[in-house]
Chain A
Amino acid sequence: GAVVSQHPSWVICKSGTSVKIECRSLDFQATTMFWYRQFPKQSLMLMATSNEGSKATYEQGVEKDKFLINHASLTLSTLTVTSAHPEDSSFYICSALTTELSSYEQYFGPGTRLTVT
């Protein structure tokens, strides 16, 4: 089956520092990757959509300068939370689409829990 990994699985950082989260498709090439944010007991909120080699498309209300997304290759996308603050503490999940496998299924990573102190 299609596997998407995320690293790190959890991270604690101090306010004002930056944190990078990696999302990798391990056994397929991801034409499109998505980044979601989820608060406890709430739904997933789409932050941005990224296609390999092009700039990410951010959802309304998401600060592109704060949440930097890079989709450098067909197997790797990164989300960098710059100058993190406690309100950025959340669960971040990536997912990937591919034309190699199922035409409709998005494959999700296991998520990264970010705590900003």
Chain B
Amino acid sequence: AQKITQTQPGMFVQEKEAVTLDCTYDTSDPSYGLFWYKQPSSGEMIFLIYQGSYDQQNATEGRYSLNFQKARKSANLVISASQLGDSAMYFCAMRGRYGNKLVFGAGTILRVKS
């Protein structure tokens, strides 16, 4: 079975500072993918970044980077230079090798302060 754990129910960050959102996972699949999504109050799910289990380098997308530590089974999201518009719920998710289902963590609510 696959499991995603996000231990931070809520986080605050000062505008323009960096913030790390934690995510740990558990799977027996040798091949898997890790995702981060942003969900603002409107409810839409916005894809942020993807990391494949065999990718040698950490994924980066603009201000988003994924700190992938395979041995620790962690895939933390780093948001640099936080903006007020980054305030939202953030979900870490995983998809295993078999099947296409995404398993989501509980989410972290991020609030950016001005």
Contact = CB atoms under 8 A, between A and B. Distances in A.
Interface of A: 32, 34, 38, 41-44, 46, 49, 91, 93, 95, 97, 104-108, 110-111, 113
A107 B44 CA distance: 10
25 contacts: A32-B100, A41-B107, A41-B109, A42-B106, A42-B107, A43-B91, A43-B105, A43-B106, A44-B45, A44-B104, A46-B102, A49-B100, A91-B43, A95-B45, A97-B100, A105-B47, A106-B47, A106-B100, A108-B44, A108-B45, A110-B43, A110-B44, A111-B43, A111-B45, A113-B43
Contacts of B72: none
B104 A43 contact: yes
Contacts of B100: 32, 34, 49, 97, 106
Contacts of B43: 38, 91, 93, 110-111, 113
Interface string B80-97: 000000000101000100
User: What is the interface of chain A mostly: helix, strand, loop, or mixed?
Assistant: strand
A32 B91 CA distance: 21
B50 interface: yes
A105 B101 contact: no
A41 B43 CA distance: 11
Given A44-B91, A49-B101, A104-B33, 4 more contacts: A42-B107, A43-B105, A97-B100, A106-B47
B91 A93 contact: no
Contacts of A105: 47, 50
Interface in B23-68: 33, 37, 42-45, 47, 50, 52
B101 to A, nearest CB: 6
